[in-house]
Amino acid sequence: MIIDIHAHFPFGEYKHPADLDLFLRRARRFKVERICLSGHVNRYGFNPTARQVREINSWTLEAMARHPEQIVGLCFINPAAGAGAVRRELDWAIARQGFRGIKLWVSVNCRSRKLDPVLARAQELDVPVLQHASYNTLGKGAPHESTPADVADLACRFPAVRLIMAHLGHARVQGLTEIAPHRNILVDISGSQPARGLLEEAVRRLGAQRIVFGTDLPIRDYASILGRLYEAPMTDQQRRLILGQNAARLLRLETR
């Protein structure tokens, strides 16, 4: 089973409900059975209101309703909206609508205590958190963007919460060394270009059981992300873990 843990819809030029069919067709082409949607995270900038966050999650819910077999929802949250708003959104999305995880982007840095209510609720609900992170030689993409070191700090504060750090392609080896000691952090393999060596480095430093397949669709495509996974030297069992078994376990999805 192949599970894409990191995709966005609607996003960019793909705005209409029918555009989701393009995603699903592309997924079928690559035998991807489940796509986890994190919503249109940049639709309202870095600091969306509670109402805007609900709108973004409602689009994800629509996609889940239309394609329940393929689409898995991750609830987008802006922790800066306050503890009450966070709790209301998580209870609506996860407890009532069947979202299976939480997506955090760049609204708040991982070191901020504003994240504590989100992580505390994630622990209570027993759902994973997909957190954007990046090292960027050109500078931060957003004022509060988190680095792998920031994600490591968060993992330390909440060792019982399973964190998925997005974008192995932007983690650099430095990032891998920073998250390696924290067993509750996994990394998704999206980000940047299909540069040879980094995935092998991640398998060596983290182990395949801490790596998940994710694309950041539609910014990236299955070709460039799966190309990495199919060509990097590893065992079939390691590849199966990364392609879907780890994600299925994290998201409590049935495997075939």
The two most distant CA atoms of the chain are separated, in Å, by 47
Binding footprint of other proteins, residue count (CB under 8 A): 40
Q: Residue 133, interface with other proteins (CB under 8 A)?
A: no
Asked if residue 86 binds other proteins (CB under 8 A), the reply is no
Give the residue, chosen from 39, 48, 148, 218, that forms a contact with other proteins under the rule CB under 8 A.
218
Can residue 105 be called a binding residue for other proteins (CB under 8 A)? no
According to the binding rule CB under 8 A, does residue 219 interact with other proteins?
Answer: yes
Question: Whole-number minimum distance, CB 157 to other proteins, in Å?
Answer: 28
Nearest to 214 by CA among 116, 44, 13, 74: 74
The DSSP symbol for 43 reads T
- Nearest to 8, CA basis, from 214, 229, 223: 214
Among 116, 149, 201, 249, binds other proteins (CB under 8 A): 201
Residue whose C-alpha is closest to residue 151's, from 171, 127, 131, 170? 131
Q: State the DSSP string of 98-165.
A: ---EEEE-SSS-TTSGGGHHHHHHHHHHT--EEE-----TT--SSTTPPPHHHHHHHHHH-TTS-EEE
Contact (CB, 8 A) for 70 and 35: yes
21 sits near other proteins (criterion: CB under 8 A): no
Residues 151-190 that bind other proteins (CB under 8 A): 169-170, 172-173
Taking CB under 8 A as the rule, does residue 230 contact other proteins?
Answer: yes
Q: Please report whether residue 136 would count as binding other proteins according to CB under 8 A.
A: yes
66 binds other proteins (CB under 8 A): no
39 binds other proteins (CB under 8 A): no
Binding site for other proteins (CB under 8 A): 14, 22-23, 25-26, 29-30, 134-138, 169-170, 172-173, 192-198, 200-201, 217-228, 230-232
